[in-house]
Amino acid sequence: MTTSIDDMPKVMGDDGEFHAQDEAVDLSGTPVEAWVALVFFWILGITVFYQFFTRYVMNDSAAWTEEIARYLLIAVVFTGATIGVIKNNHIQVDFFYKFMPKPVARALATLVDVLRTGFFVAAAVLTVMMMLKLGSNSRMTMVDLPMNWVYGVCLLGFAAMAVRSAQVALFHRRRGYTVLERPETSMDDN
Residue 98 burial (CB count, 10 A): 9
pLDDT digits (tens, 9 = 90+) for 134-174: 988 889 888 888 999 999 999 999 999 999 999 999 999 99
Q: What are phi and psi of 101, to 5 degrees?
A: -60, 145
Q: What pLDDT, in 10s, does the model give residues 40-85?
A: 999 999 999 999 999 999 988 888 999 999 999 999 999 999 999 9
How would residue 122 be classed by pLDDT, with cut points 50, 70 and 90? very high
Cα 76 to Cα 51: distance, rounded to the nearest angstrom:
18
Whether the CB-CB separation of 75 and 64 falls below 8 Å is answered with: no
The Cα angle at residue 189 between residues 185 and 190, in degrees rounded to 5: 125
Please count the residues of the chain.
190
**What's the angle, vertex CA 119, arms to CA 115 and CA 123, rounded to 5?**
170
Instruction: Check residue 118 and give left, alpha or beta (phi > 0: left; psi -120 to 50: alpha).
Output: alpha
